[in-house]
Structure 1
Amino acid sequence: MGAKPFKVASLEDDRRYGLAARSLEELVRKGCRKWQLPQKGCRVCLFEDGTEIDADYFYTLNDHCEVIILKEGQQWNGGLHYCINKVLNTFYANSEELTQIASQMLSDEKSFKKRVLLQNLIQKSNENISAENREDDLKWFEGLDLRFKTKSDYMRFSCGKRMRNYLTEVKNHGKILEGKMGSFDSISCGYDHSINPYSNKENRIIFSTWNLDHRIEKKRTIIPDIVKAVLNQNIDNDKVEKFYKHLFTVENLKLVHVVCHKKCKHNLSF
């Protein structure tokens, strides 16, 4: 059998070299000589997906197959993993330049999925998650009252406002049992919703559109039960705590993206 040509890479540099070998042992020997690697413990994997090549598999490979030689202890998860990791490293080192390139690509891209990936990349480049104080991220605080000095101050106020709105509903609705409710019937969302309101102004605003969804319904179940308990003068500390938990805590609340807010009856009870 004649020598089989390969395109061989190594973690020692980014270049690939053409090497020919009649056996896996010969390929390892030549690769180790090329990159000055100790031959003991070295192995060869497919560059594409990281599949390890043994002596038998070697003879099934096509000519000019792309492989990578690894010394003992090194790992390879495939070319795509490598490329993404390289882009991420470049992103943090040259985020402004990478954002400009992504913006140029976005203007010409027609594929919806690719546009979403590019838009997310551009958006992430504007994040300033670690900044907490107003002076460290002035853009995040645009449009907000000057009394908010930190991001946590505003998020605490925003959360408290939502809770006060629930309390107002309890006071005002009484026996009015109608109302729309939202998503409640799954542990996790089938869509890839991800947001950090601390990252930038846009995410802060978008986050305000997310809904706090009561699994056991507020208007159809919790409020009627409160009204019934009050009318029957059947209130004690345990019931007060139970109502509080189901109205205001994560025991019964889920944060739900607005597009996943299902408008249907839950049919759940205490």
Structure 2
Amino acid sequence: MTTTKGFKVTDAERKTRVGIAVKNFEELKKKTIDKFKLKFSPGQIDFQTPDGTLIENDEYFQTLPSQTLLIWVKKGDKAETDAEILYKTIREVNDEYLSAGEKVQEFFTEKMKNKVFKLAEVLKGIDGEKAKLTTKADHPEWFEGLDTGAKTKEEYMFRRAQDRIRTYFYKTKEELLKTKDLPQAQLQTLINELRNRLKLNKYHGYYFDRACFGDENMKSICDRSGQFTCHGRWDKDWCLYNPSHTINPYSSREARIIFQTWNMDHNKERSRSIIPAICTALRASDNVNTKTSKVCKDIDSDNSLSKDKNCINVRSIYNDLFTTGNLKIVHIVCHDKGAHFTLKAGPYLV
């Protein structure tokens, strides 16, 4: 970051916000410690965004827009997300109403995963007609609580999709750079090529942008109205619930917040399968013949490249990490965090 940018910083309680202008992530940590009079070193605090995204390095920090709200926490701790706060607020404000029925009684005793599911049911009565509204001027309550310069819902949702894809890139990069014995030249070429492709595709922000519905090249996951339908667990072809899980984050502030609990899930897992397969390919490429090993950019579209041996297939890696060829949008209930043992990534070596 070459220029100074301003951020709003708060603690896990969100009682006090402090404006802090910094040039990099390390400076943010030092100024936060000073402003909040903390008895921690910079290495003892973490930062997250209101949707729970952990900021792990300066490279990702530099992508955040000015005036983003950042929450500092003690390293290893985690602040409540907007969705969790919303659940608690609705419970406190509407306790008498929500406690009236047997089904809602369960709402307070089940685990958070099921609470979020039932919360969506409670919020079904919200006026869906407002989903058609687009601008901040037309639907100001939708933007309530947001620190954003976005003037339309579509612009805001576009950025949220970019944030999720950027997170996958930076986590992948960090894990690969931490892995020992990888050929550095090929690794750096691979990282640069992945970044260049992401920039070309605008970090797939169109995934959440309903204005892109029907676009063959940059198609949104939601429909024209902004409604998302759960794609189902990683080993299923569709959501097995009847009716299927659906949500339209364009309809209300509450729905926008709850949408944060929906996941972009890798069928072939990023950390358990894709990363190890990339490492295997890089090592094999280097071990066979260091002088001739290559990173192939588009082997599917270039017949000449397909004749090369020991060539890393960037297209396959990119598709598995960042595209809907391997990503599903899933309701939290359908997000299985166990090992996806039947789906294996790679081999990425031609």
- For 1:185, the equivalent position in structure 2 comes to 235
The amino acid that maps onto 2:122 is Q
Tell me how far 1:230 sits from its aligned partner: 3.1
Alignment equivalent of 2:252, drawn from 190, 200, 203: 200
- Aligned partners of 2:98 and 2:153: how far apart in 1? 33
- 1:108–1:173 distance in 2 versus 1, CA, 3 Å: closer
The whole-number CA distance in structure 2 between the counterparts of 1:206 and 1:107 is 18
Counterpart in 2 of 1:112? 103
**Which residue in the other structure is 1:213 paired with?**
265
State the percentage of identical aligned residues.
Answer: 38
Q: Distance in 2 between matches of 1:256 and 1:118?
A: 16
Partner of residue 148, structure 1: 150
Q: 1:144 to 1:228 in 2, by over 3 A?
A: same
Gap change, CA 1:137 and 1:228, over 3 Å in 2: same
Match of 2:336 in 1: 262
State the secondary structure of the residue aligned to 2:264.
strand
Once residues 108 and 208 of structure 1 are traced to their aligned partners in structure 2, the CA distance between those partners, rounded to angstroms, is 26
How many angstroms does 1:258 deviate by?
1.5
TM-superposition CA deviations, 1:206-265 (whole Å, max 9, x none):
111111111011112211222233342452123111111111111000011122221221
Taking structure 2 as the reference length, the TM-score comes to: 0.41
Question: Which residue is equivalent to 1:122?
Answer: 125
Tell me if structure 1 keeps the 8 A contact 2:233–2:239. Answer: no
**Which of 274, 288, 291 is the aligned partner of 1:222?**
274
Work out whether residues 210 and 256 of structure 1, in 8 Å CA contact, stay in contact via their aligned partners in 2: yes
Aligned residues of 2:263 and 2:335 also touching (Cα < 8 A) = yes
1:213 partner SS: strand
Could you list the per-position Cα deviations for residues 23-78 of structure 1 after superposition, in whole angstroms to 9, with x for gaps in the alignment? xxxxxxxxxxxxxxxxxxxxxxxxxxxxxxxxxxxxxxxxxxxxxxxxxxxxxxxx
CA RMSD of aligned residues (A): 3.0
User: Structure 2 CA distance, aligned partners of 1:165 and 1:146?
Assistant: 19
The DSSP-based 3-state class of the residue aligned with 2:261 is: coil
Select which of 154, 160, 163 maps to 1:161: 163
Secondary structure of the corresponding residue to residue 282 of structure 2: helix
* Residue pair 2:264, 2:327 contacting (<8 A) in 1 also: yes
Residues 3-14 of structure 1: matches in 2 within 5 Å? none
Q: Secondary structure at the match of 1:152?
A: helix
Give the structure-1-normalised TM-score.
Answer: 0.53
CA distance in 1, matches of 2:99, 2:233: 36
Query: Which of 127, 130, 133 is equivalent to 2:135?
Result: 133
Residues 119 and 265 (structure 1), Cα distance of their counterparts in 2 relative to 1, 3 Å cut: closer
242-251 or 220-229: which moved more? 220-229
Change (3 A) 1:229 1:155: same
- Whether the aligned pair in 2 keeps the contact of 1:229 and 1:235 (CA below 8 Å) is no
2:174 aligns with one of 172, 175, 179: 172
